């Protein structure tokens, strides 16, 4: 059933503090809407859980990117296009820039926001594995104040998060310590643009004296939440990349994910792809990681 616009309210108070006080007055009643690339789809289909929406699109407080010393703060209201436009994101957080370029098409990149991708909490969100391997912290804000939560602890289950009903994600804080790592991103889907991932993958690695000194792997669309491949990381760390290790790592990755059959793919295909993606990354790391 199509939504009837007359049945919905939309407030646009125009400042972050005004939005937060509205959320504080009636926690859980107001659904924030930024660029609408997820919310408007649910709305048009008549599936929106809330009849009251508050616009956070283009709030200046949420659309800043700031670099202070060894850290960068990305406002949650920054669009995918904003991320791609930033030299520091392209250079030092290339996994995030790649994910942003693979999300939707240009029009969706101009409206979809990184905060929206986080709060929408889909296990298939393309930017989420990147946030995981970069150890992102989320700054959450409400009328009562701010708190910081590690992104790795934020998604608690399928489309569930630690965000309180009166809170917004204000910014994403990234540490700049990964710039010397070999970075590798892959999206496996019907196509890059528009298609939702069957599997998406973000990986960072560093070699020292031919041995894997550090490795960080995360995947989307393979579990109810974006998943860090901790067992595979443990297996690989401290070892030389050789064919036997690649085979073992591949099997471990396929075993530690929890994929399902759905409209986009099957659990079996996803497990095979997950293993192959890990092997491909290790192969490239063994060649390219040396020169870093």
Interaction site with another protein (CB under 8 A) = 3, 5-14, 18, 21-22, 33, 35-37, 40-41, 43-45, 52-55, 57-58, 81, 101, 104-108, 110-111, 191-194
Nearest distance, CB of residue 102 and another protein, angstroms: 10
Closer to another protein by CB, 15 or 150: give it.
15
Closer to another protein by CB, 53 or 200: give it.
53
Nearest distance, CB of residue 17 and another protein, angstroms: 9
Closest CA to 183 of 205, 168, 166: 205
Nearest distance, CB of residue 143 and another protein, angstroms: 12
Nearest distance, CB of residue 161 and another protein, angstroms: 23
Closer to another protein by CB, 6 or 263: give it.
6
Closer to another protein by CB, 196 or 285: give it.
196
Closer to another protein by CB, 16 or 272: give it.
16
Residue 6 and residue 83 in contact, taking contact as beta carbons nearer than 8 Å: no
Nearest distance, CB of residue 200 and another protein, angstroms: 17
For 62-71, the CB contacts below 8 A with 24+ separation are 62/16, 62/115, 62/168, 62/170, 62/171, 64/171, 65/89, 70/175, 70/176, 70/177, 71/173, 71/174, 71/175, 71/176
Closer to another protein by CB, 36 or 226: give it.
36
Nearest distance, CB of residue 264 and another protein, angstroms: 14
Q: How far apart are the first and last CA of the chain?
A: 55
Nearest distance, CB of residue 112 and another protein, angstroms: 9
Closer to another protein by CB, 106 or 208: give it.
106
């Amino acid at each position: 059933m199509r939504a009837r616009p007359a049945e919905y309210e939309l407030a646009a108070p125009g400042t972050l503090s005004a939005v937060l006080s509205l959320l504080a007055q009636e926690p859980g009643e107001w659904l924030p809407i930024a660029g609408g690339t997820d919310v408007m789809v649910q709305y048009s289909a008549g599936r929106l859980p809330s009849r009251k929406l508050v616009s956070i699109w283009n709030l200046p407080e949420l659309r800043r990117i700031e670099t202070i010393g060894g850290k960068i703060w990305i406002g949650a209201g920054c669009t995918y296009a904003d991320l791609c436009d930033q030299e520091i994101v392209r250079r030092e957080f290339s996994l995030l820039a790649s994910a942003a370029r693979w999300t939707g098409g240009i029009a969706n990149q101009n409206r979809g926001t990184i905060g929206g991708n986080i709060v929408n909490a889909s296990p298939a969100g393309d930017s989420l594995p990147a946030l995981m391997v970069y150890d992102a912290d989320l700054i959450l804000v409400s009328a009562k104040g701010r708190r910081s939560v590690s992104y790795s602890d934020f998604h608690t289950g399928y489309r569930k998060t630690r965000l309180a009903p009166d809170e917004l994600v204000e910014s994403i804080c990234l540490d700049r310590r990964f710039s010397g790592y070999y970075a590798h991103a892959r999206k496996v889907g019907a196509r890059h643009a528009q298609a939702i991932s069957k599997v998406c993958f973000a990986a960072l690695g560093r070699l020292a004296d031919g041995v894997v000194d550090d490795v960080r792997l995360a995947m989307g669309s393979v579990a109810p939440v974006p998943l860090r491949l901790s067992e595979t990381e443990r297996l690989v760390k401290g070892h030389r990349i050789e064919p036997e290790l690649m085979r073992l790592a591949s099997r471990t990755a396929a075993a530690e994910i929890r994929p399902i059959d759905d409209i986009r793919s099957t659990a079996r295909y996803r497990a095979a792809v997950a293993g192959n993606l890990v092997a491909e990354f290790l192969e490239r790391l063994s060649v390219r990681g040396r020169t870093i």
